[in-house]
Amino acid sequence: MTPTIRTVLGDLDPAELGATDSHDHLFIRSPLLPGEELDDPAAAEGVLRAFAAAGGRSFVQWTPYGMGRGADSLAELSRVTGVHVVAATGLHQAAHYDPDTLRALYDGLAERFIVELTTGLTAEPATEPPGPPGPPAAPEAPEAPASPEAVRAGLIKVACDPGTTTAHTRQVMAAAADAHHATGAPIAVHLEPRAHPHLVLNRLHVRHGVPPHRIILGHLTRLPDVRVHRELAAEGVYFALDSPSRAGHPADHQAFDVIADLVEAGHASRLLLGADTTTRTARQADGPTKLLNDLVPRLARTFGPELPGLLLTANPAAAFATDWRTP
Ligand SMILES: [Zn+2]
């Protein structure tokens, strides 16, 4: 078996991946961010075209189940723009979902993740139409594909909690680990600024047996503790260092220093880059393009011309490539 990267148009030879935005969103919605939905295929096409014009070749979307992944649009967008797109299964924190929808999802959660990784993304519950509240939308059975064209997920997205670990997160992480063991898929983790990432590693790796090199931690630039970064890198996890889309966010200024510290500590092979555009406001910052036109030239000037290729191409090719199994 040769490891491949599972894109929305099929499995890709990692050598074909090219410059990659390793953590971003073309489509996402959450009740926590009203009015900030990314739900417009034409706007998503504009993002991919600008990214491609700047030299981008691959775009990894970390939007999990139930948050408006644009499952019906991703394949066509990849086809018309020529950008490889990777989609996600998984679940975010409970706060992003209707509670009744969530309760109906827990039973068979790992099976849903596995179906989405091996057969195709499943239909998401419809968003609440304006008007009197009706019965909550029940999730479709995992057998029901979202669109006639099977678009498979290439990674599992999960999240840790802002405070102590909730029952929701314990169930989601257990299901993600089950789906990893069944398919080989990498697991991408949304970290909270005050969370302790070692707890995530303990849960996924120590408790559930997911190898560290199959875990990608997001948002570490929001947690500016270089000692913790170095410890985690030494364990072998990948970091998706995001922020260029967050103009004015402290993480935007910290990203370069975090990268510099890890490179100097010998951990360049663990680093991926992403713009993590989650809102309409953030999209105005042109994060995926800025990643290539701003952050990457700065890295090349400081660390030499090889480093951008490592962070943008070689590392994501290794982090997302999988010996795919079908249970
Ligand atoms: Zn994200």
- Ligand 1 centroid to 131 CA: how many Å? 30
Q: Is 298 exposed, middle or buried, given 0-12, 13-18 or 19+ CB atoms closer than 10 A?
A: middle
Concatenating the DSSP letter of every residue in 196-251 gives -HHHHHIIIIIIT---GGGEEEE-GGGS--HHHHHHHHHHT-EEEE--TT-TT-HH
pLDDT of residue 131: 44
Q: What is the CA(25)–ligand 1 centre distance, in A?
A: 6
Report how far residue 297's alpha carbon sits from residue 281's, in angstroms, rounded to the nearest whole number: 25
**Tokens, residue 265:** 């500590």
Ligand 1 centre distance from Cα of residue 4 (Å): 23
CA pair distance 135, 240, nearest whole angstrom: 39
Separation of CA 230 and ligand 1 centre (Å): 22
Cα–ligand 1 centroid distance for 128 (angstroms) = 23
C-alpha 169 – ligand 1 centre gap (Å): 17
Residue in the structure block whose two tokens are 């948002």: 219
> Which pLDDT score is estimated for 248?
52
0.75 exceeded by the pTM?
yes
Distance 88 CA to ligand 1 centre (A): 11
* Residues contacting residue 150 through CB under 8 Å, at least 6 positions apart: 119, 120
Q: What is the separation, in whole angstroms, between the first and last Cα of the chain?
A: 16
Q: Quick: pLDDT tens for 120-141.
A: 999 998 765 444 444 555 565 5
Q: What is the per-residue pLDDT across 2-21, written as a single tens digit (0 to 9) for each?
A: 899 999 999 999 999 999 99
Phi, psi at residue 272, to the nearest 5°? -120, 160
CA–CA gap between residue 207 and residue 222 (Å, rounded): 26
What parts of the chain have a pLDDT lower than 70? Answer: 127-148, 243-253
Helices (H), the chain: 41-53, 74-81, 99-106, 109-118, 167-183, 197-201, 226-235, 250-264, 280-283, 287-290, 296-303, 306-309, 315-320
Distance 198 CA to ligand 1 centre (A): 20
- C-alpha 243 to ligand 1 mean position (Å): 10
Output Rg (C-alpha) for the chain, integer angstroms: 18
Indicate the SS3 state at residue 4.
Answer: strand
Cα of 277 from ligand 1 centre, angstroms: 7
Predicted pLDDT of residue 130:
44
Burial of 288 (0-12, 13-18, 19+ CB in 10 A): buried
Per the listing, tokens 């691959």 go with 58
pLDDT of amino acid 137 = 54
In single-letter form, the type of residue at position 267 comes to H
Beta pairing class for 84-90 and 5-7:
unpaired
d(CA 236, CA 230): 10
**From the CA of 62, how far away is ligand 1's center (Å)?**
6
CA 217 to ligand 1 center in whole angstroms: 11
197 CA → ligand 1 middle, Å: 16
Could you tell me the distance, in angstroms and rounded to a whole number, from the CA of residue 96 to the centre of ligand 1? 13
Distance 266 CA to ligand 1 centre (A): 26
- Residue 218 has φ and ψ, to the nearest 5°, of -100, 155
User: How many Å lie between the centroid of ligand 1 and the Cα of residue 298?
Assistant: 23
Q: Give distance in angstroms: CA of 159 to centre of ligand 1.
A: 10
Return d(Cα 225, Cα 227) in angstroms, integer.
5
Ligand 1 centroid, distance to 274 Cα (angstroms): 9
Res 219: pLDDT: 87
Side chain identity, residue 118 = T
| Residue 276 CA to ligand 1 centre (angstroms) | 5
Q: What are phi and psi of 82, to 5 degrees?
A: 75, 5
How far, in Å, CA of 129 to CA of 133, rounded?
Answer: 9
Expressed in angstroms and rounded, the spacing between residue 149 Cα and the centre of ligand 1 is: 25
CA distance 13 to 99: 40
